[in-house]
Structure 1
């Protein structure tokens, strides 16, 4: 073998090493303009006009200063996040559908969810005045009874106690139906998020904001995505309801006030 041939072979090896592995570039489909209205509504859970309205509210938070390195546009970031909300919580499925790397999808979901969640004060009503803050306490079945927070009786015996629990159940059913509507619109709430806790908290608030925006825009409930099993989703919604928790009741004052309320109100029915 000629010494020059060996030298050229070495140069080829050096050239290959210096070039490295070519960067993988993804082809991204234009889902906003490429899909018909109904298919878009089914896959992204909001209509196109509502998506554009939402984009105007968060676009400044999503825009990159340059288009270098194939920066994902704000509209595609929003659609990626909405597609994740419409899924069973699998990043790989969303990445394949949107034509992105899974790590890019993860960063986008965190970024967009946080941007939408920051709109909560415009779309979610919270106690405003000092009086409302004193009268309204947010909590769930894991809390013990307080003088301002009545929980169901675990073992009702008298007729007024049974009436009280029935009224409690009817009131709670309204909340559970609302949760069901949100979970059908955004199935990821039913399937669960396999992300960091901080991101999950932003996703929950973002879905609540989106639900209220959809109601303000007069949107109907979208049809389920083709990759979501209706019976499985309904089972998850049912199983995901908050069950009654047997909390040790050390709040004597709250118990006494609840007892007086039951006797005075339901005892006269």
Structure 2
């Protein structure tokens, strides 16, 4: 039976604390192994730094996180830390029994990232797996570590999504984050020895940067809002002051 023909559930998560979001992955793995449905979760976070499994906590600026209200948790997957929030980051998780997925890691990534790449295409973002490795700029930050063709998605040669897999209780769990908007100061502030904003923005891009209204459209909209939609004539009397 094709994987797509098996029982799946899509859970659009409400925002939950980072530790709960990570725990839900383990619970979904148990459900899948016990004969329950495979799970796709799409979720956002409160302001949170998720550390890679082996990441040294000394790389974190704990004072900054406490001062700015950024929670910290640790993922089951490796790699560097990722700053998440409800505005700049969208995350997903996919859980299925291990024996239903390719044993080859590259093939597994390609299969499970198909919906992700389809999303970018539908959003008008020309994105795909990195064609070649690139060296790290800043080891503590996931988006600034070495770019890997197996699981890093780039747009215009800059990283827009990081993805990772791990196996637990005979289940495969893949999760990833999509950079919807750049929150440069927050991404860099959570680390104790950050790089410059220029270096960050030279390696990282976002959906908004590639699929947003143009500056000209925004200027035109602001002008029209002031002359029409913000007026009492339109709101109270349904009279169009622009056409009058």
TM range (shorter): under 0.3
Structure showing greater relative contact order (alpha-carbon pairs closer than 8 Å, 6 or more residues apart): 1
* Structure showing greater Rg: 1
Alignment TM-score, normalising by the size of structure 1: 0.23
Higher helix share: 1
Higher strand share: 2
Alignment TM-score, normalising by the size of structure 2: 0.25
